[in-house]
Amino acid sequence: MRHALVTGATGFIGHHLVQRLLAQGTAVKCLVRSKSRADHLSQLGVTLVQGELEDVSSLSEAVKDADVVYHLAGVTKSVRKSDLMRVNGDGTKNLSLVCSRRNCPPTLVLVSSLAAAGPSTGSEPRIETDPVSPVSCYGRSKRAGELAVMDFADELPVTIVRPPIVFGEHDRDVFQWFRSIDKLGLHFAAGLRDFHYSLIHADDLAWALILAAEQGGRITKDVDDDAGIYYAACDEVMTFSEMGRLIGDCVGRSRTRVVHVPMFMIRGVAVSGDLWARLRGRPTILNLDKTREAAAGSWVCSAAKLQRHTGFVPSMTLQERVLQTAKWYTHENWI
């Protein structure tokens, strides 16, 4: 029986990955900050290990006996920029260090982000050999995490997976799109231009991560070697407007109106959001850092390399996955 450690298992992607691993008979441990907030995981039959990425001793206990470590834990938004780097960069370095100290190091699969590479240029999707150019603090912190694991490439097997927008059951970020469309029939788009985006459902991403661990290439210290880096995305690409209309169809809206909000107005709201976040000590999803990403252009990537190396294919179409997600939100009374 294989043994896996999942960090960030309390997040919505982690939930899908744990379900996938258990279904294939893998023994799963989850690193959690608080066991009392992870009851839903213990009910699935996983082992909970309390600890944090900043605490090397707790990480040592967590990685013990693991054949594969799936590193999902991270911060997507924060009141302070330093917190992004502390968790996404320094925390990943700590985990890599602890894994490298094992007599037989586990395979480490880092879930990074398309944001670590930056937006796509021109009409072509990003591929793994393209130079990276993150445009946000979040993207730079995820890139720092990538560089951290690369530093240990000679000491443990490492694979990096960069997903684009991830959606699915239990998600609360993309859910905001579903809610505004369901309640108001409105889909708010940042800027006057309609950029293109890649997406992936969390369950398909979970399957991609497992395939990357089992069949994927591994990072080397050669800066020009992309053997262990993969994008994971659906084949379908949509504009933001098209995504809104698809969600509208799936939640039963006869018509969804796409409202293009000028970037200067978005930035004004984002400044207010940042100020409010500092006052209450909690980050908001609409902030200046996310505004930088929204203004940067299209975010499209190709999963062709992952498909060649591992045979990865999403199990459903994008439309089917959006409908599945909408039905879950409805069943759980989120919308």
Give the pLDDT confidence of 92-145 residue by residue, as tens digits.
Answer: 999 999 999 999 999 999 999 999 999 998 778 999 999 999 999 999 999 999
Angstrom distance (rounded) from CA 37 to CA 69: 21
**Contact in structure between 164 and 111 (CB atoms under 8 Å):** no
pLDDT above 70 coverage of the chain, percent: 99
Residue among 36, 37, 38 nearest 28 (CA) = 38
> What confidence tens digit (pLDDT) does each residue in 139-176 have?
999 999 999 999 999 999 999 999 999 999 999 999 99
Mean pLDDT value across residues 3-25:
95
Cα 230 from Cα 212, distance rounded (Å): 8
For 75, how many CA atoms within 13 A lie in the half-sphere containing its CB?
Answer: 27
**Can you read off the two tokens belonging to residue 197?**
């985006």
- In one-letter notation, the amino acid at residue 208 is A
- pTM for the predicted model, two decimal places: 0.94
Mean pLDDT across 242-261: 95
Q: Has residue 205 got a pLDDT over 90?
A: yes
CA–CA separation, 56 and 303 (whole Å): 34
Residue 220, token pair as written in the block: 């080397």
- CATH architecture label of 3-170+198-236+299-316: 3-Layer(aba) Sandwich (3.40)
In degrees and rounded to multiples of 5, residue 166 shows phi and psi of -110, 130
Q: What is the pLDDT of residue 19?
A: 95
Contact 270, 286 (CB under 8 A): yes
Give residue limits of the domains in the chain: 3-170+198-236+299-316, 175-194+238-294
Average pLDDT (24-38) is 87
Q: 126 pairs with which residues across the strands?
A: 301
**Residue 229: per-residue pLDDT:** 97
Q: What is the mean pLDDT of the chain?
A: 92
Task: Express each pLDDT in 53-82 by its tens digit.
Answer: 988 888 998 999 999 999 999 888 887 888
Model pLDDT, residue 223: 59
Residue 7 has pLDDT above 80, yes or no: yes
Closest of 89, 145, 83 to residue 277, by C-alpha: 83
Helix H segments across 111-262?
137-150, 175-184, 202-215, 240-250
Rounded CA-CA distance 194/260 in Å is 9
